[in-house]
Amino acid sequence: TQLLEQSPQFLSIQEGENLTVYCNSSSVFSSLQWYRQEPGEGPVLLVTVVTGGEVKKLKRLTFQFGDARKDSSLHITAAQPGDTGLYLCASRLAYSGAGSYQLTFGKGTKLSVIP
């Protein structure tokens, strides 16, 4: 089983600060997804990265996929209270069967942005 290690586990910052959270594995990712889970809700997909070295931007969020496809980072610029939530990385593992893939999650980084 591919383990996804996320760091830091908890992060509390002031509004306006920048931050970076990380997702690492000892194995190569075929692709990687980042989800955000707000309190009382299920996770929602933010982005999928596929190619080593890929950088994707979503407003103030920048996602980077490592060249070797074994790590990924999420950088938030000028964090806002609305960014508060649990940030999860996930990767799909191919398993034998009907061409389906099991989505495996890291433990997540719990972000609190204080106004």
Partner 1 sequence: ETGVTQTPRHLVMGMTNKKSLKCEQHLGHNAMYWYKQSAKKPLELMFVYNFKEQTENNSVPSRFSPECPNSSHLFLHLHTLQPEDSALYLCASSQEGFMNTEAFFGQGTRLTVV
Interface positions with partner 1 (CB under 8 A): 4, 30-31, 33, 35, 40-45, 48, 50, 88, 90, 92, 95, 97-108
CB of 83 vs partner 1, minimal distance in Å: 19
Residue where the block lists tokens 């955000």 = 36
CB of 115 vs partner 1, minimal distance in Å: 25
Q: In this complex, which beta carbon is closest to partner 1, that of residue 98 or of residue 115?
A: 98
Q: In this complex, which beta carbon is closest to partner 1, that of residue 54 or of residue 79?
A: 54
Residues 6 or more apart whose CB falls under 8 angstroms from that of 110 comprise: 9, 10, 11, 85, 86
Question: How far apart, in Å, are the Cα atoms of 43 and each of 8, 52, 62, 90, 91?
Answer: 19, 25, 18, 11, 14
